[in-house]
Amino acid sequence: MRRTPYATSGPYAPPVPPRELTVTSADGARLHAELHGVTDPAAPAVVLAHGWTCSTAFWAPVVRELVARHRVIVYDQRGHGRSTAPGPGGYSTEALADDLEAVLEQTLEPGRRAVVVGHSMGGMTVMAAAGRPAVRERAAAVVLCSTGASRLVERARVVPLRSERLRARVHRAILGARLPMGPVTPVSKRLLRYGTMGPGSAPAMVEACARIVHACPRAVRAGWAHVMGDLDLDARIGLLTMPAAVLVGTADRLTPPEQAHAIAAALPQCTGLTELPGLGHMTPVEDPGAVSDVIRRLAADHGGSPRTTDDLTDDDPHAVEERTT
């Protein structure tokens, strides 16, 4: 397993996990996972899925916010961090859904549920897996943070062109570029800050995010970029029948607030849409307290307990079967 040069001190340094394990996905992909926080299996559990070009290290500030009272599970998406890179056919939203199912089944005790949180591509993972049995049974609630369901290249605002068609072409070219990112430099940090973070982002915050993003292999970066360039998960949103919260930064150029509003409007049980003033796309790093507060609230109200018939609705395909057994 490869090691990556993340921050080694301060709030953005990845905490040492009390337990590490390897999760095996449906196609044999091996995913690095970490368990942090409270060891009591009855404690509220939280599963964190990171975004494109990131890793478990991205969640370090949020993990620190939650570990005192929660079981926190983080994993590296395939090809990222310390998870194995997928084969030629392993870049798809279905593969992401397979991976999330495997993480839920192999890290949670039988009958236990968790609040599942996805940032950016992690949110797309949650939406892609919305109809999967493990998600319906194991996700007590979900948080969709700084993410989108479709038309990502058309709606992004990284390159401020008026023509949607031209803007989409430029964004697609940037997104899918296979050029190596090279070392973290002052120029690369300025570009990252402009594209992904709010104008008030502290230098240490930008440095930490740059280290994480630059560690992603370029083939993996490009492989997932092509998937996101053609993303269409609008039909999956309505399958997230559990309580769901949506968060977005008002200065998010990658998945602007209009994406969050569309998702919130399509959710059957949206518990709220939180807009964080002046923040960019990296909201869990830019304001881990605000993101963690939403997670805590859902965990307190819905997390940890086994699934019961009270959680089922007439729209749930498992409802008739479970009520009649």
Whether the CA torsion 287, 69, 39, 10 is positive or negative: it is: positive
Residue 199 pLDDT exceeds 50: yes
DSSP 134-176: HHHHHEEEEEEES--SB-HHHH--SS--S-HHHHHHHHHHHHT
Residue 317 pLDDT exceeds 70: no
For residue 68, which phi and psi values (nearest 5 degrees)? -65, -30
pLDDT bracket for residue 2 (50, 70, 90)? very low
Task: Give exposure, 168-196, as e/b (b: 16+ Cβ within 10 Å).
Answer: bebbbeebbeeeebeebeeebbeebbebb
What is the value of pTM for the model shown?
Answer: 0.89
pLDDT tens per residue, range 239-298: 999 999 999 999 999 999 999 999 999 999 999 999 999 999 999 999 999 999 999 999
For residue 29, give the DSSP letter. -
Q: Which residues pair with 19 in a beta bridge?
A: 35
Q: How many CB atoms lie within 10 A of CB 151?
A: 16
| Helix, coil or strand: residue 8 | coil
pLDDT tens per residue, range 206-228: 999 999 999 999 999 999 998 99
Q: Considering only 25-34, 62-71, 101-110, 147-156, which range has the smallest mean pLDDT? A: 147-156
Residue 314 pLDDT exceeds 50: no
Domain boundaries, the chain: 19-303
For domain 19-303, the CATH class is alpha beta
Amino acid at 275: E
Q: How far apart are CA 118 and CA 66, in angstroms?
A: 16
Dihedral class, residue 151 (left if φ above 0, else alpha if ψ from -120 to 50, else beta): left
Sequence-distant (≥ 6) Cβ neighbours of residue 174 within 8 angstroms: 158, 159
> What is the per-residue pLDDT for 315?
41
Angle at alpha carbon of residue 286, lines to 282 and 289, rounded to 5°: 120
pLDDT tens per residue, range 54-90: 999 999 999 999 999 999 999 999 999 999 988 766 8
